[in-house]
Structure formats: structure tokens, C-alpha cells
Amino acid sequence: MKIGYHASHEQFSPRELLQLVQKAEQAGFTCALSSDHFHPWSNTQGESGFAWSWLGAAMQATNLEFGIVNAPGQRYHPAIIAQAVATLDQMFPARFWIAAGSGQALNENITGDKWPEKEIRNKRLKESVEVMRELWKGDYVTHHGEITVENAKLFTVPETSPMILGAALTQKTAQWIAPWTDGLITVSQPMDGLRKFVHAYRQVAGPHKPMILKVQISFERNYETARTGAWEQWKNNIFPSSLLSDITTPDKFDALGQNIRKEDVAEKVLISDSADFFIQNINEFAGLGFDKIIIHNVNHNQESFIEFFGSEVLPSIKQTM
């Protein structure tokens, strides 16, 4: 199992994030996950750097393994994403993976194209994954469906076979992606629900496909400060995915979150000032079979979080390199 650092482009500038992933590696984190948004979730978060430009710099500046959650099909043509992944893998073999999801209107709506229903978005996603895999073989690809590809060929192909995970938040989606992706990424939820989620996925995927868990936490040396920081930065993100996927602007997210209380956020984010609390929860997540656990400290105090995890949490968690 590896413990990773989440690089949140919605909350920090690319320059600051580059420094943070270097500090995370020095502290003992062994992988990283990059978000890929055009807009932040909130005007308060206030950033939205282009992750694909940043990834090349971050992978050169560290020895970490990197992943990204991406929605091919509308804002990005899958042939362009296939080219981007192949380029990173050619420079940094076996250090990069991609998780593909159906996307959110917050980012994809900028094209002006119609935001499709979930069924169409899912069909588009599956087609995009199929196209990317064909392009990585180095063959000419033509495809007509929810996406269109005409006579495309990658002349710079990956050094290794890139891993494509499926992004899923519900048991239904987890079972749908299981047969045609290489693994799964999801986000933390209460343990009973997460245990049922894993069981549902394993029923279809079998016992061996890798699973990655992104865990939202908020750490400060003072609990109330940690709770306030989580509320300030993350209160817009606690709604069901079926609602979040159709909201189009940060202003609308801010309107949605204006009545959210601190205690509401505490039900969705692991908030604590205790190393033992985080060690216990990470070990419980690991016990469900997750191969990587990505820690996203949702408040703005990243340096303190990285130092704290490096000195008081990570030494107690057995990681594989």
C-alpha cells in the first residue's frame, strides 16, 4: 500500500503546488494525485491551474508516482488525452496512471456543447477509453459514435501500458466500470457504506484489480481550527454526486453551500488534531484492500499538514515503495 498526497489545483497555484509535492515526497508520501478542473468548486478556493502542464514539471521535480482523474469526451478529445498520457509515460515510464470519469458540468460546460444525460456521458466515457487504448498500440484509429475520431495515430507511444482506472462514487457505477477498466478510484465515506461499496465492486471485478481511495481530511493542531478550515474550503463539495455533476459555475456552488453548517461538513470530512485518529482510519481503509490511499487535506494549511503526517502519521503506516 502507498500513501499519497492530493495536489488540489482548485485551491493552490501551480507554483505553490510544485513546492508542496516536493515537500510531500520529503515527508514520506510515495505517490500523488492531481485534480483536473477548469473551474474551482468555489470562488473562495480561487485557483484552476492546467494540470497537464503542471504534471511534467512535478514529475521531473520528484520521483513520485502520479495519477490524475480526467473526463475525456467533451472538454478534452480522447485522442489528445491519449497523446498527453503517452508523452508523460515516455518521459517517466511506469510512473503515471489515469482515472477516467464521466465529468461534471462545472468543467465540461465551457465548450458550449449540450451537457448530456448520465447515460450518454457513460457511453461517451467507455468509447473514449476504448479509443485511447487503441491509440496507445500505435495503430491508425477511426471511430464514429458519441465521439468521433478520424484516421488518428500516435507516433510517440507509451513506454509501458498505461493503467486506466474508473472513477466511481456509487455501487452501481463501480460495478459498471469493473469489467472494462484496470481498477477503481473512489472517495472516502463512512466505513459501513465503503465496505458495501468495495464488496459490490469485487463481485464484478474479482479480487485482483487495484483500488485507490481519496480521503478528505482536515488537520490543524487545534480541532476547531481544523473544522473551520474544512467548512471554509469544502462545504460546497458534500452534496450527492448526482447533484454536483450538473452545477455549472462556482457562483452556483457557493449559493448551494451557503446554508451548510460546520457540523454538516464534519460528517463528510475526517477532522482531527490527533495522529492516532488518522492512523486508525487509514489502517481501517487499508484493511478493505485499497492499494493506494490519497490524503487530501482540504483546509489551506498544507505545510503544517505535510510536516505533521511526515513526523507523526506516516512512520506508523507500512508503505510499499
Instruction: Note the pLDDT tens digit of each residue in 58-68.
Output: 999 999 999 99
> What's residue 321's pLDDT?
54
Strands (E), the chain: 2-7, 31-34, 65-70, 96-100, 141-144, 148-152, 163-167, 183-187, 211-219, 270-272, 292-297
Sign of CA dihedral 111, 115, 121, 124: negative
- Which residues have CB under 8 Å from 271's CB, separation 6+? 217, 218, 219, 223, 226, 227, 230, 265
Three cell numbers, residue 309: 503526517
The Cβ-side half-sphere exposure at 281, using a 13 Å CA radius, reads: 24
What is the C-alpha to C-alpha distance for residues 221 and 231, in angstroms, rounded to an integer? 16
The cell numbers describing 212, all together, are 485507490
Distance CA 163, CA 177 (A): 14
Which three cell numbers, joined as nine digits, stand for 232?
471554509
* Per-residue model confidence as pLDDT tens for the chain (321 residues): 999 999 999 999 999 999 999 999 999 999 999 999 999 999 999 999 999 999 999 999 999 999 999 999 999 999 999 999 999 999 999 999 999 999 999 999 999 999 999 999 999 999 999 999 999 999 999 999 999 999 999 999 998 889 999 999 999 999 999 999 999 999 999 999 999 999 999 999 999 999 999 999 999 999 999 999 999 999 998 888 878 899 999 999 999 899 999 999 999 999 999 999 999 999 999 999 999 999 999 999 999 999 999 999 999 997 765
**Best CA proximity match to 169, nearest among 250, 243, 263, 219:** 243
Between CA 7 and CA 11 the distance in angstroms is 9
Rounded Cα distance between 166 and 177, Å, is 6
Give the global pTM.
Answer: 0.96
Q: How far is CA 13 from the centre of its chain?
A: 17
pLDDT (0 to 100) of residue 92: 97
- Residue 54: its pLDDT value, please? 98
